[in-house]
Structure 1
Amino acid sequence: MLTHLSLKHFAVVSQAELTFGPGLTVISGETGAGKSLLVDALGLLSGLRADSGVVRHGAERAELVGEFTLDDVPTAAQWLREQDLDEDSTDPDPRCLIRRVIRADGGSRAWINGRPVTLVQLGELAAQLVEIHGQHEHQALLSRPSQLALLDAYARTTVECRAVAEAAGRWSALLREREELSAQGDVSDRIDWLEHQHAELERETLEPESIEQLLLDHRRQAHASDLIEASENAFRQLGGDDGPSVSRALQQVRHELQRVTGHEPRLNEVDGMLAAAAIQLDEATTLLDRIRGDLDIDPSMFDAIERRLARLHDLARKHRVAPDQLATRREALGLELEALRGAGERLRKLDAEIETARLHWRQAADVLGEKRRQAAGVLAKATTALIGELGMGGGHFQIAIEPSGSDKPDPNGGERIEFLVAANPGQPPRALRKVASGGELSRISLAIEVAALGLDAVPTMVFDEVDSGIGGAVADIVGQKLRALGASRQVLCVTHLPQVAAQGHAHYRVSKAAADGVTQSQVQLLDAEQRQEELARMLGGVELTHEARAAARRLLSDVS
């Protein structure tokens, strides 16, 4: 719901701040005062293109700001999250701020919650927040998708629409799978190639730990003579049987220290350390002897290792991977080979699955279509009755439903719809988007919305000059219908009729005056007394007579 609208240097408005609540808010004013500028401002906040003409003369730029609550628009809140434009998600009263600046040179910029956005993004969000009905081409009800959405809301087809969309999605996924498999063509050559490549890899032990051990064995054999010589020298020096060794030297040191430990107790600690070192030395010598025994210069083994390493490197180059990644490559080839071997069988199964999915969609679409047709008849009848009440006697409203003409599963169902209207008796019904009279179009839109009981998902509806060309009892009815619609939706209405203005829950007056040779418009929220005066002006013109004031009081008392 729109809660706040701020205008600055916009057309003839220097600055205006408007607050809005639920129900029906009416906007009145003298001809040329600029009352429709509020509708224009909402249009620009909805992403319409602007030119420099909307910038007030002498100003560098016009600035428009609209604030909306989102508690009644979960789809808009979800859209903001998906676009990373949302505010604090824990706020129990989520809000959205839309700002647009139009410069005098014709350029413009837009922001949502302080973040810059494109006009496309602005339009996508605003389409979920505001719906404008008037004498402009951007009315939502002129588009077929909006008409279908309204009919579905009226028919309460949420479950059926979801079933149709899911069935169409399943059919599309299966079709894509078949197209991908069919695009592969004859895969026998590919299978033969894969089998050869896979078998070649299968003949080798390719696990990374096996390759690591092979490299270690290769280094050991390549340096076997050096390893043997170094091991023998080390063994001889550490604890060999002949000649001096570290082990004998350590034992001699311990013996000499033990003879004098009685004179210096701390030498016991030194002896303990040397004893531990002797144990470590014995273990090192034992391990060194075992290693020396394992080492052997074996030219045939070395050649075998070299040949295996060469094969692994050749395979790695062939498959363009590192040797330790050959096992992963082998698994990938095996999976592809398995998939291709089953491609023919899968294609045969897919044909049956696709046909089954199409039949499931057809069944779901038939259920949805029947529910739409039933609701269309009821909605058309109610709207036709309201059109007559709104001063278009003999007018007729229809909802044309015809097959889409394609057996291809469509997520929106199997039919196309179009709102048709005959504004006068004897005229053939025409598409709503082709109705020429703006006033008629506004009243028809009002009739549709009232007949639909405000089920349109958009929370804020704006009606611009909906009462154009009517008066008397019809004007009373228009006002009553707008007020009734305000029970379920926020409604803003620009009007010149006192009968309509009297029905508002809130009333703004737009007036103009010249200051320093420049015409300016001002917007004022009226209290009860001011509202009575405004209705009297709308009834009686410039001269406010006693009779006009009395009539204004009667209008207000009839509503209350």
Structure 2
Amino acid sequence: MLQFLAIQNYTLINQIEIDFKNGFSIITGETGSGKSILLGALGLVLGQRPDTNILKDKDRRCVIEASFNVTKYHLQKFFADSDMEYEEETILRREILPNGKTRAFVNDSPVNIKLLKELGYKLIDIHSQNQNLALGDPEYQMGIVDTYAQHPFLLDDYQTQFEAYQTIKKDLKDQEEIARKEKSDLDYFQFQLQQLLDANLVEDEQALLESELETLNHAEEIKTNLFKASNLLNEGDVTIISLLKEARTAIDQVKNVFTEGEEFYKRFESSCIELQDLASELEKSYESMEFDPSRISLLNEKLDTIYGLQQKHRVDSIEGLIQVREDLDEKVQRISSSDDVIEKLKLQLQKQESKLSKASQKLSKSRKSVIPEIEKALESQLIQLGMAHAKIKFEQTVINEYQYLGQDLIRILFSANKNGQLEEISKVASGGEVSRLMLSIKYLISASTALPSIVFDEIDTGVSGEIADKMGVVMQKMAENIQVISITHLPQIASKGTYHYKVYKADDELETYSNIVLLDKESRIEELAKMLSGSDLTQAAMENAKVLLSK
């Protein structure tokens, strides 16, 4: 239940602190006194979006704090799943800074607005006059049935299956679109791949081919110089090797009498052997070196193919072309196998639709089973609220399309008159009739789900006199199980509350501000008398107020 509400620097409110009690509480006040401001502040701390210019003092932050006793709410798992510290007295705080930014806290831990709003829905139900308009919304009408049926596990199961179905359906659509686009390019991809396969690319091949071509293009020049070098070493009358041998022989003659002669001789000997080997290799190279036009043509053709492919695919190496070849091969394989993928997805979708259909049927069956109970309970309640001939029907239609809430469409049909034609509420119900119907729905839901707290913002619009008195009795009954707070202009309802708060506007030398006070017995009699007679209090109004309270 809501235990405490503190508001600082919010529109006309400087600072107020309100202790709320269990049971049935009433809030009254003249038009413009600040009742809607109070409700707006409560909405903010529950996660609603702030309006602009809500700061009374533009240089200070607005702080709204609400304390709830959550002992009986079974919220331990929600707190754990949300990574928040659970406390039986949970404090929600919302801050609006002068720069327009907002911050939210649960038990002094920062939270995002989405989480704050989600927690707020579990703590209190604020019924504003906008909800009367929502009564014509098919989704809201569906929510009435689902809440009364108490089948969250069925709805959760259906929505889990629905989300899985939608995911597979999207994957199938995306895959079909990809296949459609890529299949139109398959021939081109295959042509590109075949070009790369025909090139028989080998890593590091390009450098070897370029080197061989360079050699063949200079074959005559190389052969001539190899011949010249070979002749100088070992051919003709006077050669380098023969001169070197003469030098070796000269040293050999003095090596026995010359200290360094032996070393010189060995070096000449080594040089002779090395040069003879070199001469032999030069001769072999010379003999093997041939100008081969066919080989040159083959190399040029191979390299032209490589250069052309590199330019086409915008790479600068054999390795780059090999990577392009592998990518194209993978793409061609994927496109070629896309039909298999699509067939697998179609099979998955078919299986998932079967699961979804079963979950939908269970959900529809559960809704259908409780609709007669809802209709009977609401008609009985409306009779107690002075609508003796009221008829209400929850029309359930099953459609072929899967939607997030199932395959059902719920439409509430209503008639307040004897033998009247059942029509949509928005077409036949007056404001007072909608108010009574909405109160009956809230009473029904609260009885079946044990809502922790509920706030009614002038749900009595359009009624008065005896009907207002009966609506007050209904709220009294609701308050036996949950905390009920009702903002009202009607003395018949105000007199039914166990606690009565008055919102008023006051002035001082500097400003106008709103405040709230819990009335004692005498003040309450006076407030009810004013509601009965206006600002001019009469003794008769005071007596009537006492009579109302005595009831």
Q: TM range, normalised to the smaller chain?
A: 0.5 to 0.7
Correspondence 1:65 to 2:64: yes
CA distance in 2, matches of 1:325, 1:458: 68
Correspondence 1:98 to 2:94: yes
CA contact (8 A) 1:110 1:122 kept: no
Counterpart in 2 of 1:368?
Answer: 363
Counterpart in 1 of 2:104?
Answer: 113
1:402 to 393, 397, 401: 397
Counterparts in 2 of 1:410 and 1:134: CA distance versus 1, 3 Å: closer
Structure 1 counterpart of 2:163, which letter? G
Correspondence 1:440 to 2:433: yes
Counterpart in 2 of 1:538?
Answer: 528
CA contact (8 A) 2:500 2:524 kept: no
1:242-272 CA-to-partner distances (Å, cap 9, x unmatched) read xxxxxxxxxxxxxxxxxxxxxxxxxxxxxxx
1:57-109 CA-to-partner distances (Å, cap 9, x unmatched) read x999995735465965979979xx9xxxx9x73454665433558x9xxxx94
1:347-400 CA-to-partner distances (Å, cap 9, x unmatched) read 455555545544443333222112112222211221121122123332233222
Superposed displacement of residue 158, structure 1: 2.3
Counterpart in 2 of 1:38?
Answer: 38
Counterpart in 2 of 1:158?
Answer: 152
CA distance in 2, matches of 1:412, 1:348: 29
Structure 1 counterpart of 2:140, which letter? S
CA distance in 1, matches of 2:50, 2:321: 59
Structure 2 counterpart of 1:153, which letter? T
Structure 1, gaps ≥5 residues long: 223-296, 556-560
Counterpart in 2 of 1:185?
Answer: 180
**1:379 counterpart SS class:** helix
Q: What root-mean-square deviation, in Å, do the aligned CA atoms of Structure 1 and Structure 2 show? A: 5.4
1:516-535 CA-to-partner distances (Å, cap 9, x unmatched) read 69875431124xxx046404
Counterpart in 1 of 2:27?
Answer: 27
Counterparts in 2 of 1:550 and 1:408: CA distance versus 1, 3 Å: closer
Superposed displacement of residue 111, structure 1: 2.1
CA distance in 1, matches of 2:86, 2:316: 53
Counterpart in 2 of 1:452?
Answer: 445
CA distance in 1, matches of 2:184, 2:289: 43
CA distance in 2, matches of 1:152, 1:133: 18
Give the TM-score taking structure 1 as reference length. Answer: 0.62
Counterparts in 2 of 1:190 and 1:494: CA distance versus 1, 3 Å: same
2:332 to 328, 337, 359: 337
Counterpart in 1 of 2:487?
Answer: 494
CA distance in 2, matches of 1:392, 1:133: 22
Counterpart in 1 of 2:472?
Answer: 479
Counterpart in 2 of 1:4?
Answer: 5
CA contact (8 A) 1:27 1:494 kept: yes
Counterpart in 2 of 1:252?
Answer: none
Counterparts in 2 of 1:28 and 1:185: CA distance versus 1, 3 Å: closer
Superposed displacement of residue 448, structure 1: 0.3
Structure 1 counterpart of 2:7, which letter? S
CA distance in 2, matches of 1:17, 1:327: 76
Counterparts in 2 of 1:437 and 1:494: CA distance versus 1, 3 Å: farther
The percentage of aligned residue pairs carrying the same residue is: 23
CA distance in 2, matches of 1:312, 1:90: 67
1:417 to 393, 402, 410: 410
Counterpart in 2 of 1:17?
Answer: 17
CA contact (8 A) 1:133 1:463 kept: yes
**1:414 counterpart SS class:** strand
Counterparts in 2 of 1:423 and 1:203: CA distance versus 1, 3 Å: same
CA contact (8 A) 1:537 1:548 kept: no
1:297-318 CA-to-partner distances (Å, cap 9, x unmatched) read 9999xx9999999977765654
Counterpart in 2 of 1:245?
Answer: none
Correspondence 1:380 to 2:380: no
Superposed displacement of residue 55, structure 1: 8.5
Structure 2, gaps ≥5 residues long: 214-284, 291-295
**1:394 counterpart SS class:** coil
CA distance in 2, matches of 1:180, 1:145: 30
Structure 1 counterpart of 2:156, which letter? R
CA contact (8 A) 1:132 1:140 kept: no
Counterparts in 2 of 1:61 and 1:487: CA distance versus 1, 3 Å: farther
Question: Which shows bigger deviation, 444-453 or 516-525?
Answer: 516-525
1:8-48 CA-to-partner distances (Å, cap 9, x unmatched) read 4635x555333445544321245664445433555677757
CA distance in 1, matches of 2:444, 2:136: 17
**1:4 counterpart SS class:** strand
Counterparts in 2 of 1:135 and 1:10: CA distance versus 1, 3 Å: same
CA distance in 1, matches of 2:488, 2:128: 11
Superposed displacement of residue 435, structure 1: 6.5
Pairing of 1:118-267 with structure 2 (within 5 A): 131-136=125-130, 140-183=134-177, 184-185=179-180, 190-198=185-193
Correspondence 1:470 to 2:440: no
Structure 1 counterpart of 2:155, which letter? C
Structure 1 counterpart of 2:139, which letter? P
Counterparts in 2 of 1:334 and 1:511: CA distance versus 1, 3 Å: same
CA distance in 2, matches of 1:514, 1:126: 34
Counterparts in 2 of 1:191 and 1:141: CA distance versus 1, 3 Å: same
Superposed displacement of residue 493, structure 1: 0.7
CA contact (8 A) 1:421 1:430 kept: yes
CA contact (8 A) 2:414 2:429 kept: no
Counterparts in 2 of 1:193 and 1:370: CA distance versus 1, 3 Å: same
Structure 2 counterpart of 1:113, which letter? A
Structure 1 counterpart of 2:392, which letter? F
**1:452 counterpart SS class:** helix
Counterpart in 2 of 1:251?
Answer: none
CA distance in 1, matches of 2:479, 2:180: 62
CA distance in 1, matches of 2:92, 2:503: 26
CA distance in 2, matches of 1:310, 1:130: 79
CA contact (8 A) 2:7 2:41 kept: no
**1:17 counterpart SS class:** strand
CA contact (8 A) 1:9 1:59 kept: no
CA contact (8 A) 2:126 2:456 kept: yes
1:377-428 CA-to-partner distances (Å, cap 9, x unmatched) read 2112211211221233322332222234xx3322321121133333444443
Q: How many residues align?
A: 459
CA contact (8 A) 1:369 1:414 kept: yes
**2:502 counterpart SS class:** strand
Counterparts in 2 of 1:95 and 1:509: CA distance versus 1, 3 Å: same
CA contact (8 A) 1:36 1:494 kept: no
CA distance in 2, matches of 1:549, 1:189: 85
CA distance in 2, matches of 1:437, 1:63: 39
Pairing of 1:239-388 with structure 2 (within 5 A): 318-320=312-314, 329-348=324-343, 350-351=345-346, 353-388=348-383
Structure 2 counterpart of 1:152, which letter? D
